[in-house]
Amino acid sequence: MTTEILCLVLAAGKGTRMRSASPKVMHPVAGQPMVAHVLAAADALAPVRRGVVIGPDMEVVTQAVAPWPTVVQQHQAGTADALKTARGIWAGFDGIVLAVYGDTPLITTATLKALAAAVDQPDRPALAVLGFRPDDTTGYGRLVLTQDGHLTAIVEHADADADMRRIGLCNAGMMAFDGRRLGELLDAIGNDNAKGEYYLTDAVAIARAKGYGAVVAEGPVEEAMGINTRAELAKAEAVMQGRLRDRAMNGGATLIDPATVYFSADTVVGRDVTIGPNVVFGPRVVVEDEVEILSFCHFTDAVIRKGAIVGPFARLRPGADIGPGAHIGNFVEVKNTTIGKGSKANHLTYLGDARIGAGTNVGAGTITCNYDGYLKHLTQIGDEVFIGSNTSLVAPVTVGDRSNIAAGSVITRDVAEDALAIERADQTQRPGWAKDYRARKAAEKAARAKTKP
Considering only residues 107 to 146 of the shown chain, the ones binding ligand UD1 according to CB under 6 A are 140-141
Q: Judged by CB under 5 A, which stretch of 44-52, 225-233, 370-378, 399-407 contacts Mg ion?
A: 225-233
Cβ closest to ligand UD1, residue 118 vs residue 172: 172
Asked if the bond preceding 396 is cis, omega within 30° of 0, the reply is yes
Q: 186 in helix, strand or coil?
A: helix
Q: Which residues contact 166 (CB under 8 A, 6 or more apart)?
A: none
Q: How far is CA 165 from CA 137, 244, 295, 410, 426, in A?
A: 8, 36, 50, 76, 88
Instruction: Please answer whether residues 58 and 23 qualify as being in contact, where contact means their C-beta atoms are separated by less than 8 angstroms.
Output: yes
Strand-strand pairing, 170-178 and 96-101: antiparallel
User: Of the candidates 70, 111, 137, 201, which one interacts with ligand UD1 according to CB under 6 A?
Assistant: 201
Least distance (Å) from ligand UD1 to the CB of residue 215?
A: 16
Considering only residues 151 to 170 of the shown chain, the ones binding ligand UD1 according to CB under 6 A are 154, 156, 170
User: Of the candidates 8, 47, 103, 326, which one interacts with ligand UD1 according to CB under 6 A?
Assistant: 103
Q: 27 in helix, strand or coil?
A: coil
Considering only residues 208 to 227 of the shown chain, the ones binding ligand UD1 according to CB under 6 A are 226
* Residues with catalytic roles: 347
Instruction: Please answer whether residues 42 and 32 qualify as being in contact, where contact means their C-beta atoms are separated by less than 8 angstroms.
Output: no
Output the DSSP codes for 97-153: EEEEETT-TT--HHHHHHHHHHHSSTT--SEEEEEE--S--TTSPEEEE-TTS-EEE
Q: Judged by CB under 6 A, which stretch of 7-15, 294-302, 327-335, 420-428 contacts ligand UD1?
A: 7-15
Is residue 171 involved in binding ligand UD1 (CB under 6 A)? yes
| Binding partner of residue 171 among Mg ion, ligand UD1, none, CB cut-off 5 to 8 Å per kind | ligand UD1
Is residue 78 involved in binding ligand UD1 (CB under 6 A)? yes
| Binding partner of residue 76 among Mg ion, ligand UD1, none, CB cut-off 5 to 8 Å per kind | ligand UD1
| Binding partner of residue 267 among Mg ion, ligand UD1, none, CB cut-off 5 to 8 Å per kind | none
Q: Around Cβ 234, how many Cβ atoms within 10 Å?
A: 11
Query: Could you give the CA distance from residue 155 to residue 116 in angstroms, rounded to a whole number?
Result: 22
Cβ closest to Mg ion, residue 83 vs residue 364: 83
User: Of the candidates 226, 325, 340, 363, which one interacts with Mg ion according to CB under 5 A?
Assistant: 226
Q: 230 in helix, strand or coil?
A: helix
Strand-strand pairing, 344-356 and 361-362: parallel
Which residues form the interface with Mg ion (CB under 5 A)? 226
Give the footprint of ligand UD1 on this chain (CB under 6 A): 10-13, 53, 73, 76-79, 81-82, 101-103, 140-141, 154, 156, 170-173, 199-201, 226
